[in-house]
Amino acid sequence: MDALDVKILRAVISESRASPSSAEVRLSLRAVAARIGADDMTVNYRYKRLQKSGALSDWHLILNPSFFGRSVLDVVVDVQPESEKADMIRKLKLVDGVFMILNFFGRALKILTMYSSNESRSRTVELISRITNAERITQSRMPLPLSRTKLLTETDVQIIEALSKDARKSSALVAKELGLSTRTVRNRTDRLRQENTIFTFPSLNIYGIAGLIPVYLSYTYCNGAKSSVDRAMLTHFESSYLWGGFYDLDRGFIMLDAPTMGDVPRILEWAKSQPGIASARIDIPTEQFSYPEKFTELLQLGNEEAALQKNAFL
């Protein structure tokens, strides 16, 4: 995996198309090629190679948690003991709101979870801490765009459910399955995307790709140094970073592709030497667990609540 693959993967991750059918992916890849200064054929070939490697095996359609009045919390823990990690992951999957777990070599785990209030946030963090016997725990609230959709119609729900497990389905196929017109499906998904209510993301499996050494570099800021540190990170790792998290005032992270294992300690040394960084650490991710069904469950729960409210007025 070289710098061009990294740029393509980074660009694809940043795309959140509502229904990435084959035709739409081709259009998106043309935009990616123009953005990174590569020709269409090369980008298309590299993209297909990434798919074959398993890096972009599945696409999931998810609902914006803000539509349900929920926020997202990014939690990182050091578990104890490490030998019980597999059982901890099994238990964490069952925690209400947990929709992604990133496992690292060693004791670290990263958990993304939804919550509806400060009280539910505290309960979730406490439960995660108990399950993992956390020696270290950090938490950051992830910013979300506000969903502008007031109400999902029955047709909207049907389309979302049809795309939830395979967002690459074409509008024509979804229309045929649901007995709708292709235009209706396309217009509904376009509207929901424009209203920040649905997003489509690839199910990433970058952790087993030959030639890619993923590195999760996390760090804390000195007072007032956030902007300069974030700029330094993006500039220094321009050819190797896949994505980053710069939404917390106290800490940030960046996911990198290290050239070799020998470069990993040098990356950490560089980070620790930067003015404005109070502390830094590196973790090596090994596997990711995603639970997109948690969003469908929220949708079904919302429908049941709406039905109960409707019946109460009858």
Q: 52: alpha, beta or left, given left = phi > 0 and alpha = psi -120 to 50? A: alpha
3-state secondary structure of 220: strand
Please give the DSSP secondary-structure letter assigned to residue 222: P
Question: What is the pLDDT, as a whole number, of residue 24?
Answer: 54
Name the residue with tokens 């963090």: 125
Domains (ranges, CATH) in the chain?
3-58 (no CATH), 65-144+289-293 (3.30.70.920), 212-283 (3.30.70.1060)
The region of weakest confidence among 28-32, 98-102, 125-129 is: 28-32
Q: In this structure, are residues 38 and 4 in contact, taking their beta carbons and an 8 Å threshold?
A: yes
Q: Structure tokens of 201?
A: 């993301």
pLDDT, tens only, 59-98: 778 899 999 999 999 999 999 999 999 999 999 999 999 9
Question: What would the DSSP string read from start to end of 254-295?
Answer: EEEEESSTTHHHHHHHHHHHSTTEEEEEEE-EEEEEE-THHH
Distant-in-sequence, close-in-space partners of 177: CB < 8 Å, separation ≥ 6: 162
Please give the DSSP secondary-structure letter assigned to residue 309: H
Stronger pLDDT, 18 or 5, i.e. the higher one: 5
Burial environment of residue 43 by CB neighbours within 10 A (0 to 12, 13 to 18, 19 or more): buried
pLDDT, tens only, 178-224: 999 999 999 999 999 999 999 877 766 776 677 788 999 999 999 99
C-alpha to C-alpha distance for 9 and 109, rounded to whole angstroms? 23
H helix or E strand, kind and range, residue 285: strand 285-290
pLDDT, tens only, 270-298: 999 999 999 999 999 998 898 888 888 88
Which of 1-15, 260-274, 294-308 is predicted most confidently? Answer: 260-274
Q: What is the pTM for the complete model shown? A: 0.84
Name the residue with tokens 């050239």: 259
Q: What is the 3-state secondary structure (H, E, C) of 50-79?
A: HHHHCCEEEEEEEECHHHHCCEEEEEEEEC
Q: Between the CA of residue 240 and those of 3, 41, 79, 103, what are the distances in Å?
A: 6, 22, 29, 21
pLDDT, tens only, 42-64: 888 888 887 777 666 677 788 99
pLDDT tier for residue 242 given thresholds of 50, 70 and 90: confident
Name the average pLDDT for the chain: 86
Q: Is the pLDDT of residue 228 over 80?
A: yes
Q: Could you tell me which of 97, 95, 47, 71 has the C-alpha nearest to residue 202?
A: 47
Q: In this structure, what are the phi and psi dihedrals at residue 170, rounded to the nearest 5 degrees?
A: -75, 155
